[in-house]
Structure 1
Amino acid sequence: CKQCLAQGQCIKGDIDTPSDYLCLCPRCHFGSKCQHNTELFSFNLDSLLSPDLLSSSLVNAKLSLSMYIIVPTVLLIYGTISNLLSLVTFRQPRTRLNGAGHYFLTGTIFSQVSLFCLLSKILHIIINIRGLFIQPIVNTVLCKILPFLLSSSNRIGYWLIVFVSIERIYVTIYPTKRWLQKPKIAKTIITLITIFTCASHVHELVKYNIVDDPKYTANGKWCVTQLSRSLQIYNQTNTMIHYLTPFLVNLICTIVLLILIARTRANADKNKSRWKIFQEQFKKKKEMFIPSMIHVINALPHLIISFSLICSDLDKKWQRYMLIISYFAAYVPQCLSFHLYVQPSKLFLREFHATKMWKTLSGSRRTMN
């Protein structure tokens, strides 16, 4: 009996019945084949969605299927509109005179990739569980490439916002210097971030594989990783770096930026309280804070829940649903690129109003009125 993964102990029943076996899973693993891992930052969509998709209640299974398709579809549709408006804006030359415009342009592209991969991954899970794949090679390729693209594109976006925050602190401290604002520097940083992030996730391309699971359906399959202990530690460390470092840097940069601007204005205007100046500067320069603040606020629930449920069996529905909600919520900033990057900025919004798309949209609106 060799059905169990993660070094689980396999107990075989009837030799002639492929599905008659039982896996005794090691700590932090569960599932019919011990395929699901609940160690730190090891939760995946398969383990979170499969209990609902495989529910014995037909009504619950159909309702879950509909919800898990509708939510990422809505995110993708809204995100496509928002990202398209952002792309049109950041294609304007004046938006890319500084590094921030290049970071936002690249971040918008990767946001769209991550939203597309999110929906594709969920559809892949559903098709796999139901055993509907005809071409094994295509299934294996999708199993390997979708998690890789989903992880990489999402985390590249985190790092790009970090460098936007760093650039804005640099401008605040050194208002007359332009080294870190140069487009050439930004392009170099973007290239290095992309190479570094993709290289750190190469193991996903190698270690994700398709395994059969006859316990649920005759042709049911799982897309799972089979990592050695050393590679498991690397994967956890890698994920922690890509989550925690951007989160902490964004948080620190936001606080430092607020303090620096408030202090500068306080020295210039002695008649106002620091809190009053703080409020005024926040409203005046909100485009400098909103992207990093939204990413910090959005990442916080997922981090807290992930740490709270380490090695949990997820036997309580609310635990799993909290993880699912926080997982989907982590993709909300990818849908809001136009609202986060363009609308708060007078320069970017003015450049958007100069585009052919805006003129066409505003012209159509006047015609309708």
Structure 2
Amino acid sequence: MPLLRLVKYYHLPCRNYSSNLSYFYDDLHICLCYNYEKQRLANCFDFNHNMKFDCLEQSVCVNEGQCFQDTSDCPQRAMCICPACFYGTRCQFSSSGFGLSLDPILAYHIQPHINLIHQPNIVKTSFTLTTIFIVAGFINGILALITFNNKTICEVGCGLYLLGSSITTLVITIIFGLKFWKLFLAQMAIISNRLFLQVQCTSLDFLLRICLNMKQWLNACMAIERAITIIKATYFHLLIVIIDTAIYDPFYRRLIDDDNEDEKRVWCIVTYPSSLQIFNSIIHTFHFFDSICQ
């Protein structure tokens, strides 16, 4: 059917389906249904289904998000449409799988260039509770380290694992405290040094992941009684194996800028290739079930 004749029938779908149909499309057009003098009519536009939504190959979106600009000539704004299980202004966060990042949980509530006293209540509450937990965890780690740093206790296998677990707990508390304070200072725009942010982006989450997995496995190993010589070898190889399961993580972490009309933020994100994402999920699941089976 000739195109000019076909266009005359575009009003029929809107009329036949009443208010249940808001839009429809074919190979050449996309049509919006609207009400006009008690009638349902179609307002149609040319539409290229093969168009690449990459903002003229300058897309700011990650994780395969589609980029849209306000105009093709001299664009001033861009926005991202995220695929399933991703969110954020740049599609930088994922709601699937496992993660350690505080950024998607708290960062959007922190207001840049505003004193802590004038931050939203959820930010002040989180700051207070987290500071209490960090101080309590640090004291607990010190006391546990003093308790298990004993020759008599370390004469048996479980004693060595308890000592290692105490050290790991203390390190986890310190790293988490550094990560939490960095998040606050960076999102409040007090820290803006790009090199510092990049170094912490690639290091803190990696070290925190290693220490958490190490603590889980040390606790699991306490259920097994072995000779001291076997335990020492296991302890050494355990650390090497755990580091090997996460050694790839820092290479896929980077900083992205999130600019809009009201504020500017810097995010630390990790983006794995699809094959490595599967491997990462398997490793996380393996460590997760280890902690359950302790």
Task: Name the residue aligned to 2:241.
Answer: 196
Identify the structure with the greater helix proportion.
1
Larger radius of gyration: 2
1:76-120 superposed Cα distances (whole Å, 9 cap, x missing partner): 211222221221122211011101111011111111111111122
Alignment of 1:331-342 (within 5 A): none
Distance 2:286 2:216 in 1: 11
Helix, strand or coil at the partner of 1:213: strand
RMSD, aligned α-carbons: 2.4
Higher relative contact order (CA 8 A, sep 6+): 1
1:303-341 superposed Cα distances (whole Å, 9 cap, x missing partner): xxxxxxxxxxxxxxxxxxxxxxxxxxxxxxxxxxxxxxx
Distance 1:187 1:209 in 2: 37
Asked whether the 8 Å contact 1:29–1:38 carries over to 2, the reply is yes
Identity of paired residues, percent?
Answer: 23
Helix, strand or coil at the partner of 2:256: strand
Distance 2:255 2:70 in 1: 24
Identify the structure with the greater strand proportion.
2
Which residue, out of 84, 88, 107, partners 1:31? 88
Asked whether the 8 Å contact 2:141–2:170 carries over to 1, the reply is yes
- Is there any run of 5+ residues in structure 2 with no aligned partner, and where? 1-54
Q: Indicate whether 1:109 and 2:154 are aligned.
A: no
Which residue, out of 179, 184, 188, partners 1:126? 184
Asked whether the 8 Å contact 1:53–1:64 carries over to 2, the reply is no
Task: Name the residue aligned to 1:215.
Answer: 260
Scaled by the length of structure 1, the TM-score of the pair is 0.59
1:347-366 superposed Cα distances (whole Å, 9 cap, x missing partner): xxxxxxxxxxxxxxxxxxxx
Distance 1:235 1:71 in 2: 31
Which residue, out of 162, 174, 181, partners 2:220? 162
Asked whether the 8 Å contact 1:10–1:23 carries over to 2, the reply is yes
Task: Name the residue aligned to 1:71.
Answer: 129
Bigger Cα displacement from structure 2, 104-113 vs 84-93: 84-93
Task: Name the residue aligned to 2:153.
Answer: 95
Q: Closer, same or farther in 2 for the Cα pair 1:43/1:78, shift >3 Å?
A: closer
* Number of equivalent positions: 233
Task: Name the residue aligned to 1:171.
Answer: none
Asked whether the 8 Å contact 2:106–2:123 carries over to 1, the reply is no
Helix, strand or coil at the partner of 2:248: helix
Distance 1:195 1:43 in 2: 21
Q: Closer, same or farther in 2 for the Cα pair 1:243/1:217, shift >3 Å?
A: farther
1:178-233 superposed Cα distances (whole Å, 9 cap, x missing partner): xx1x3332222221221111221112211111111112765410000121111111
Letter of the aligned partner of 1:39 in structure 2?
S
Which residue, out of 200, 203, 208, partners 1:145? 203
Superposition deviation, residue 59 in structure 1: 8.9
Which residue, out of 273, 276, 283, partners 1:238? 283
Task: Name the residue aligned to 1:333.
Answer: none
Scaled by the length of structure 2, the TM-score of the pair is 0.73
Letter of the aligned partner of 1:98 in structure 2?
V
Distance 2:94 2:119 in 1: 23
